[in-house]
């Protein structure tokens, strides 16, 4: 088997069912990756995470390079051992966090200098450094260093970000030293169709192991996001995995799968879980602190096989949140993570059965996902 193979193709859309092979194992696609920002999915053990059905997790290069540092993780045996996770791991390059969390002190075509959000210390990051850090961390999939422009963004600034992204992608590939890792290029260009096309075509010429669509879910709205994804995904090689970065609302995932996207990540399941926000198939979403749950003996979702729903009632979960018991945020996070894996399993099943187009249209127009699409429950946090 090659690194990525398509097992089934929906006849009425670009949705596809595939398998991505990494050094740490196979990933069934379309796949959702829980986010372990600083080396752990917040409040969830690796065993609990596996029980949700997750096959790959994402870790954040920016945060890990600041704390505990790449030297520490390398000394302790690499990122898999450090996280206690023996399955596939993807690390981002740190580009999004550099441009969103920090006061930049200098940016040019070579790289960026910024003040650490922890202690204000000056930190320099460029394509070679970002690649070297990821090579040493030892993840199975690593990302090119890119410039994620804000939205909205003036045309001249967006053009500059695209040029730097292309330039840095070439430098990342040149400096990539770990043959056991797959390096993905990242398409930028905001919602500008011409810039997206230009950036994507230049990256495809470099022949990366996979391709990501970055710079979305930053305020452009569902329709603009879908339009941009459709244009970009249509330019990417069919034999390479396609990854939409930082997009996690169910309606957005379904629409992107229709456009041919294979991989997703977002902090939504755990961040919203910590804030008593539960995703369900039957009722859309539930706010677990609400008094309506005060003596409700039902699980969050009937028929859900997660640890939370098999162990606790809505009333118990509400109680845990209201008294500050950590079990509340943990259990709703576990439920939400399982919800997302059940969603991806359903997507894969309907593609295999050639029913995806009809099912997805029904969900987006009539199901709970149509109500969730407009809920801004979290910022892009990947």
pLDDT tens profile 239-279: 999 999 999 999 999 999 999 999 999 999 999 999 999 99
DSSP labels, 78-112: -HHHHHT--S-EEE--SHHHHHHHS-EEEE-SSEE
Q: Is it the case that residue 102 has pLDDT exceeding 80? A: no
Range in 71-85, 92-106, 171-185, 356-370 with the lowest mean pLDDT: 92-106
Q: What is the dihedral of CA 236, 240, 244, 248, to 10 degrees?
A: 140
Asked if residue 377 has pLDDT above 50, the reply is no
Structural tokens at position 194 = 């011409």
The whole-number average pLDDT for the span 333-345 is: 98
Q: Percentage of the chain surpassing pLDDT 90? A: 87
What pLDDT is recorded for position 209? Answer: 98
List phi, psi (to 5°) of 187.
Answer: -80, 130
State residue 371's pLDDT score: 54
- The residues annotated with a catalytic role in the active site are 92, 265
Alpha-helical segments (H) within 139-248: 155-175, 193-205, 222-233
Q: What is the pTM of this model?
A: 0.95
Right CATH for 4-266 from 3.30.9.10, 3.75.10.10, 3.20.20.105, 2.40.50.100: 3.20.20.105
Helices (H), 45-84: 46-51, 61-66, 70-75, 79-83
Q: What is the DSSP letter of 290?
A: S
Mean of pLDDT values over 194-218: 97
Supply the DSSP symbol for 184.
Answer: E
Sequence spans of domains, the chain: 4-266, 273-363
Model pLDDT, residue 196:
98
Average pLDDT, the chain: 94
Average pLDDT over residues 322-351: 98
Residue 374 has pLDDT above 60, yes or no: no
Residue 247, classified by CB atoms within 10 Å of its CB into exposed (0-12), middle (13-18) or buried (19+), is buried
Q: Is 196 exposed, middle or buried (0-12, 13-18, 19+ CB in 10 A)?
A: buried
| Cα 331 to chain centroid, rounded | 21
Q: Which residue has the higher pLDDT, 189 or 149?
A: 189
Question: Is it the case that residue 1 has pLDDT exceeding 50?
Answer: no
In the sheet where 16-22 sits, what is the strand order? 4-9, 16-22, 25-29
- Over residues 170-179, the mean pLDDT reads 97
For residues 19-38, give the mean pLDDT: 98
Peptide bond into 144 cis (omega under 30): no
Contacts within 8 Å (CB) and 24+ apart, 155-164: 155/192, 158/189, 158/190, 158/192, 158/195, 159/195, 161/188, 162/188, 162/189, 162/195, 162/198, 162/199, 163/109, 164/109
């Amino acid at each position: 088997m090659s690194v990525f193979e398509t097992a089934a193709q929906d006849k009425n859309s670009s949705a596809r069912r595939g398998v991505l092979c990494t050094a740490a194992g196979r990933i069934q696609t379309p796949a959702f990756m829980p986010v372990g920002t600083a080396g752990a999915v917040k409040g969830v053990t690796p065993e609990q995470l596996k029980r949700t059905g997750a096959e790959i997790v994402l870790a954040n290069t920016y945060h890990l390079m600041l704390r505990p540092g790449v030297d520490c993780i390398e000394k302790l045996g690499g990122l898999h051992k450090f996280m206690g996770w023996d399955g596939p791991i993807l690390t981002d390059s740190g580009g999004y966090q550099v441009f969103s969390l920090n006061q930049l002190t200098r940016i040019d075509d070579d790289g960026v200098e910024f003040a650490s959000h922890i202690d204000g210390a000056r930190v320099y990051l460029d394509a070679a450094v970002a690649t070297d850090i990821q090579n040493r961390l030892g993840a199975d999939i690593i990302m090119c260093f890119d410039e994620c422009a804000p939205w909205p963004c003036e045309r001249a600034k967006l053009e500059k970000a695209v040029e730097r992204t292309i330039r840095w992608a070439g430098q990342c590939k040149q400096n990539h030293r770990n043959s056991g890792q797959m390096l993905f290029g990242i398409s930028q260009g905001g919602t500008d169709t011409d810039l997206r096309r230009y950036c994507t075509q230049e990256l495809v010429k470099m022949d990366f192991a996979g391709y990501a669509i970055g710079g979305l879910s930053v305020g452009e709205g569902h329709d603009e996001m879908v339009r941009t994804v459709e244009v970009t995904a249509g330019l990417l090689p069919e034999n390479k995995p396609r990854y939409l970065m930082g997009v996690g609302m169910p309606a957005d995932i379904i629409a992107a799968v229709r456009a041919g996207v294979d991989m997703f990540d977002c902090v939504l399941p755990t961040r919203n879980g910590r804030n008593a926000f539960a995703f369900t198939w039957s009722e859309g979403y539930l706010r677990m602190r609400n008094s309506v749950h005060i003596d409700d003996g039902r699980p969050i979702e009937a028929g859900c096989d997660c640890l939370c729903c098999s162990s606790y009632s809505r009333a118990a979960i509400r109680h845990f949140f209201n008294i500050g018991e950590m079990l509340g945020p943990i259990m709703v996070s576990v439920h939400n993570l399982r919800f997302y894996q059940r969603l991806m399993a359903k997507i894969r099943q309907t593609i295999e059965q050639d029913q995806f187009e009809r099912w997805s249209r029904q969900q987006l127009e009539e199901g709970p996902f149509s109500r969730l699409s407009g809920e801004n429950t979290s910022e892009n946090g990947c």
